[in-house]
Structure 1
Amino acid sequence: MITNNFTRRHNGPGPKDVEKMLQKIGVSSIDQLIDETVPAAIRLEKPLNLPAGLNEYETFNHLKEVGGRNKLYRSYIGMGYYNTIIPGVILRNILENPGWYTSYTPYQAEISQGRLEALLNFQTMVSDLTAMPMSNCSLLDEATAAAEAMIMAFNSRSRQAVKRNAIKFFVSNTLFAQSIDVLRTRALPLGIELVEGCHKEFKPTSEYFGAIVQYPDERGSVNDYAELTTDIHAVEGMMLVVADILSLSLLTPPGEWGADVVVGSTQRFGIPLGYGGPHAAFLSARDEFKRNMPGRIIGITVDADGNRALRMALQTREQHIKREKATSNICTAQALLATMASMYAAFHGPEGIREIARNINILAGVLSLEVQKYGYKQLNQFFFDTVQISLPER
C-alpha cells in the first residue's frame, strides 16, 4: 500500500463521511449525484487519459528533473528587479517558517502583536528612507503602487481642481514599462487622461492634477526634479515619485525635494526574484493623504491596562468596512515579504544598508570607467547602479 500519496494524506472526507453525506441528500453513490446534477451534454464519456498519480517523493524528483532543463543566464535587464542576498537567519526563520505564511495583515490585533510590530518596522523603514511622514505596510508590486498613487491623487483633488475639470496626469516616459502599462489600464475607466512625455519638456497647467517620475529613471539616470516639483505645485498639482528604495540611502530622498507621494518596491531588501514576483511594494505620502491611502496602516495605541499596543489604524478607508466606497479595492498586503524586507533593514542597520548601496554604486562606477577605456560612451552623467552604454552601429 502506498502510504504517502496525496489522497491518503489529504485532509478531506473519508469513506464513512461520504456515505453519511450521500444518505443525507438522498442518493446512493457519487456517480448518481453527478448524474443528477451535471448535464450529460457537458460530461466526459470516458475518463481522461492521464498517467497514474505520483507520490510526494516522486513528484519532487520529477519537478527537479524538469527544472534542471532550464539554462540560467546572468540578467542585466534590471527594470526594477534585482538579485539580492537573503541573510540566512531571515531565510530560515521567516521565509521558510510556516508561522509567517500569509499575505494578509492580521484582523485580530490583540493576538498578533509580533506580526504587527514587524509591519510597523516596515512602515518606519519606508518613512525614514523616503523622508515622508507616513507609509502603508505594503502593496502588491511597484506598478500597482504607482497606479494606486495616481488614483489617490485623483481622489484628493481640491474642489477648485474638480470644478475646472483637472483630469490630466503627466507620466514621464522614463518610468519602467510595466508601470506605464498598469497606469494606462487603471486610468481608462476613471476618465483620467494620461499625457506621456519627457519630464524636461513638460510644462504643467491647471488642467493637470499631478505628475509621476522615476528616481533613478528607467535608464539609470538620476535626475533633478526640483524645478518640475515647484512647477506642478504652482498649478495645485501633486508630485508622485517611483523610487528605488536602496538608492535612497545615498540619494536625496524625494520627501526632501517636495514630493507628495513616493512609491516603489522593497524587493532589493532580501526578497528573492521569484521570476518576477511576488514582492512587497510601498506607498508613503504626506500626512494629509492619510484618509485616502490604499492598503493597511499599522498604528500605535494603548490597551485596557495602559500598555503600548499595536492595531490596524484608519480602517474606515478599507473595503471590509466601506465596501464599494473604499479608497481602494486592494486590501491584500504582501505581509510575508514586507516582514522580510523590514527584517533585512533591521539585520543590516542604517550603516549596513548604506554600505551595501555604496558598494553597488562603486561597482557601477568601475564598469562605467572600464567601458569608456574601450571607446564606448557611457551616457548617464549621474547614476546609482545602472549605466547606459552607447554601442556603435554595425
Structure 2
Amino acid sequence: MEYQNMSSRWSFPELDGIVIREETGEWSHGSFLYDLEAEEPVREVWHQARPSEHNQNSQDWERWLEYLQSDVDAGPTLVETSKYEAIKNLSEIKGRQTAKKIQGYTEPHGNQKQWDSKYHDIVTRYFWAPSDFDLKSIKLNKEQRIYLTEQGLIPRGQARIYARAGGAIRTTLDRVHTTEEPLNDILNIFLGIAPDNVLSSMFFDPLGFIEDGVIQSVGREIADRFGFGRSNVTQPDGFLLSRSSAVFLEIKTGSNSSPSQLLKYLALAVLEEQVSGRKRQLGLLFITPRSEGAHFWPQLGLHGPEIPDGHISRPGGTELNPHVSSILENSRKHMESVASRIALAHLSWTDLVKQIDAMVAATDQQSPGGQAITRLLSGLRHAIVCHRRTGAGHLGI
C-alpha cells in the first residue's frame, strides 16, 4: 500500500515515521537527532518518491528513472519498502485467519487491529516526536566544538544528553516485542479496564481465591499510597486490590526471579495491610515462559509454593532494596505473619493464553458487553503471543 493523494504528484511509501517533501518528491525515515559520539551529524538519507499514476510531468518521470539508474540507494530502498509492506500485510492477513479459528470468536470490523497495537502506535508517535518529552534537538557548533540546544549551552550537571542509536523505528518496535516492560505496560492497561469477574477468573482463581467484590488495579500511584514520594523504591508488575484481598503479579519473559523479589512482595503486602488493614486473602502470582513450576521455585529459595517458617530470617546474602531492608528490620513480626498467610502460585504465558481462549469461547458475542470483553481479552492475547520471549508464540496470533 502506498500513500495515494490525487492532488499529489508523488506516490510515497507508507512507512512508520515517514517525513516527506511534497515539492521535490523526496522522503526520509526522518531521524533528526545527532550522534553525540561523532564529529559530524548522522547523515539524513532522502529517497526519491515514485511519480503517482496520474502524474503526466515528464521531468518527474525522468527524475525517477535517473534515480533508479544512478543512485546507490535506489535498489535497497525499493527492496526495503516492498519488504515492509509485504510483512505488514501478511501479518494482518494471518492474524485475521488465526483469530477466526478461535471458537466463538468473530471480528466484527474485519481488518481492525487489536487494541494492543495502539500501544505500538503510541511508541511510534513519540519516537518521532521526542520534543513531547522535552527532549530538545542538539546541534554541533563546529567552531567552538560544543553542543547547543535551542536555549543555548547545556549547563554541566543540569541536563542529561541522550542519543538515539541507529534511528530506525524498526529497532524500537523490535524491542517492544522482546523486552518485558512494554508487555507489562499492556498488561496494566488490561488490569485497569477488565471487569471484576474477568480479573477474578484470571488472577484470583489460580491462587485458590474466591473474590466477588470490586477489584481495583493499583499502578504507579502506589508511590503515594505507601509514602514513597518521588523515590523509585519498588514497583509490582501488577497489583489487584479488593476490600478483603490483595494479589500481586510478577511477570517474567527471560530473566530469572530471586529471593529478594519474594521479600519485595512480602514487604509490599506489609505496607498494604498497614494502609488498609489485615487482608483475608494475600496472593502472589508468577507468570513465566515455562509451564513446569518445579524449576521455578528454587529461584526464590523455596522448594515449592510455600514459605517455610523462619524463611525470612535467613535471606542468605540476598541484596535487598534499602526500603525493603528497613521493613524487614522494623516490621519483622508483621512480615513473618504475611509470609505464613500469603498464597503463591505459578502460571506460564501459554496457560494464560489458553485461559483467555476458553473465556472468549464462553462469552456471548451478540451482546455489546460480550463484544467489549472479547476485544479486551483478544488484545492481551495478541500482545502475549506476539512477544518473542513468552514462549506462547506457537499458539498463533
TM exceeds 0.5? no
The TM-score, its normalising length taken from structure 1, stands at 0.30
The TM-score, its normalising length taken from structure 2, stands at 0.30
Higher relative contact order (CA 8 A, sep 6+): 1
